[in-house]
Amino acid sequence: MKLPVPADVPPADRLGRVHLVGIGGAGLSGIARILLARGVGVSGSDGADSPTLDALRALGARVHVGHAAEQLGDADTVVVSTAVREDNPEYVEAVARGLLVLPRSAALASLMAGRRVVAVAGTHGKTTTTSLLTVALQHAGADPTYAIGGDLSATGVNAAKGSGDLFVAEADESDGAFLHYAPHAAVVTNVEADHLDHWLSEEAYVAAFDRFADTVHPDGFLVCCVDDPGAARLADRQEAAGRRVVRVSAREPGALAGVELWSPGEHYLADALAALAAGVTLGLDEAALVAGVASYTGTKRRMEPKGTAAGVRVYDSYAHHPTEIAGDLQSARALAGEGRVVVAYQPHLVSRTRLMGAAMGEALGAADEVVVCDVYLSRDDPDPEVTGALVAGAVPLPAERVRFVPDLDDVAATLVSLARSGDVVLTLGAGDVTRVAPEVLALLEARGA
C-alpha cells in the first residue's frame, strides 16, 4: 500500500505512542529501534514471528504476531509498511479512529528532524554504502544515528541512535520515499531503471533522482559514483545547476589503494570510495575514515559468508536486479579461485521478472551451475505466465547446467548434489531464498560425516 506523505510531518517527540504495522521488516524495525532509544512508546505487529521481533520485545516494544484491530491499543500514530494491504484490520481501525497514519518514509523523516542528514540512494549498493559510511564515521568519532536496509555484521542491528548530529540513512527510491528527507548531503551509487511498477517509465525513474538531488541543502553536496553512466549524467546535470558534486570512480581508488576490503568486486570498491568521499567532504579525518572502511566486516545478506562444509564455501546475497546479479557473481568468481560457482537464484516480484527476466537469466550465465527458483511474490499477485522458468530459459549455459526448481524446499538438496570441494555456493535474491544457505551447510556436513 502506498500512502501519501503528509505536508506537515511532526518530529518524533510529538508522535505520541507509535504502532508499526509490519514492524519486523527491514525498514520499520529500524525505525522502531530508534524510537525506542529515544524513549517513545512502541507497539507493532507482523505476519510471522522472527528474531527481529524478539529483539524489539527485549528493547521494550509490545509486539504481536498477526494483525487485529485491538492491537493498536492506545496508539496515537500508526506507521504502515508498503507491504501492508488496504484491508489490514489495524490500518482500517487507525483510519476509523482518525489517527495520524504515516508511510515508512514519513516516519523516517520524523526521526531526522533536527539532525544533519546524509542520504544514500541508488539503484544498487545503497545498503552496503550506507553501512560503510556508518562504520567509517563511527571510526572517525562522529557517532551518527543510522538507519540501514540490512543488519551490520559487526553489530547485528540495522539502526541505532547516535550521540552526534549526523543521521545516515538509506534512501529508498522504490516508492519515492527518498524525495521526503531534505538531506544536508547525498550519495548516489548508480541510476539504472528499476521499480517500474511504481515509476512506469525509465524516464520518470531517472527524473526522480534529479528531484532527489534537488532536495539536498544548497550548502550541502552530492557524491556520485561516475563509473555508472546514469550517475555520471546526474552529476553533470547537478553540477550545471550549481550543486557541489564530488565524483568517485573505482578506476581511481586513491586513498583506498592497497586497502583489503571485506569482499572482492569493483562495485564494492565503488561503494567504499563513495562512503570515504562523503566522510571526507563532511570534514572528518581521512586516515580515520580509511581505517573505518578497512575495518568493515560486511552487512547481512550482502555477499555474506554463511559458513564452510565439506570444502564448500556458502554465501548469501540480496541481489535481485540483473546488474546486481552480475556484480555478485563477479565477486563469487574471485572468491572461488580454481573452484566453480554454483548459484541458486530466486526472482523477486512478478512485475520485475516480467520486464527483466531475460536479463536476469543472461547475468546468471556467469556461474558454472545455475538453479532458478520460482518468483517470490512479495506485494505482487501471481501470474502463471511469469515464473522462474522465464529466467531459467534465458540462462546462456548448456541445458544440463541449468535447473528450474520451483519448490524452495527442494533447492538445498539440488545445490548439494552439484557442489564439490573447492566450490562457492551462492544463494541470490531479495526473498526467502536466504533460508537455503543454512540448509545447504547442514546437508554438506551430513554428507561429509
Condensed to tens digits (0 to 9), the pLDDT of residues 205-237 reads 999 999 999 999 999 999 999 999 999 999 999
Place of cell 546535470: 237
Q: What is the mean pLDDT of residues 361-379?
A: 94
Considering the candidates 52, 77, 127, 323, report the single residue annotated as catalytic. 127
Residue ranges of domains in the chain, CATH in brackets:
12-103 (3.40.50.720), 114-295 (3.40.1190.10), 304-448 (3.90.190.20)
Considering the candidates 90, 126, 129, 434, report the single residue annotated as catalytic. 126
Angstrom distance (rounded) from CA 268 to CA 261: 8
* Banded pLDDT at 449 (limits 50, 70, 90): low
Decide: 28 and 149 in contact? Cβ < 8 Å: no
Q: Is 129 labeled as ligand-binding? A: no
129 catalytic? Reply is: no
What is the structure's pLDDT at 312? 97
Locate 176 and state its grid cell: 519515492
Place of cell 532527489: 212
pLDDT higher than 80, residue 118: yes
Residues 6+ away with beta carbon under 8 Å from 385: none
Decide: 189 and 195 in contact? Cβ < 8 Å: no
Q: What is the pLDDT of residues 54-93, one digit of tens each?
A: 999 999 999 999 999 999 999 999 999 988 899 999 999 9
The order of strands in the sheet holding 166-170 is: 159-160, 145-147, 166-170, 116-121, 185-188, 221-225, 245-248
Angstrom distance (rounded) from CA 217 to CA 220: 5
Rg (C-alpha) for the chain, rounded Å, is 22
127 catalytic? Reply is: yes
126 catalytic? Reply is: yes
Locate 166 and state its grid cell: 549526523
pLDDT higher than 90, residue 7: no
Angstrom distance (rounded) from CA 172 to CA 91: 23
Angstrom distance (rounded) from CA 375 to CA 349: 6
What is the structure's pLDDT at 158? 94
Q: Is 337 labeled as ligand-binding? A: no
Q: Is 123 labeled as ligand-binding? A: yes
Locate 21 and state its grid cell: 504495522
User: Of 113-122, 161-170, 317-326, which gets the smallest average pLDDT?
Assistant: 317-326
What is the structure's pLDDT at 363? 97
Give me the chain's average pLDDT, please. Answer: 94
Q: What is the pLDDT of residues 389-415, one digit of tens each?
A: 999 999 999 999 999 999 999 999 999
CA dihedral 188, 189, 191, 193 (to 10 degrees): -120
Q: What is the pTM of this model?
A: 0.88
Angstrom distance (rounded) from CA 142 to CA 390: 48
Q: Is 52 labeled as ligand-binding? A: no
Q: Is 128 labeled as ligand-binding? A: yes
Considering the candidates 93, 170, 324, 439, report the single residue annotated as catalytic. 170
What is the structure's pLDDT at 83? 83
CB-facing half-sphere around the CA of 191: CA atoms within 13 A: 24
Q: What is the mean pLDDT of residues 195-199?
A: 82
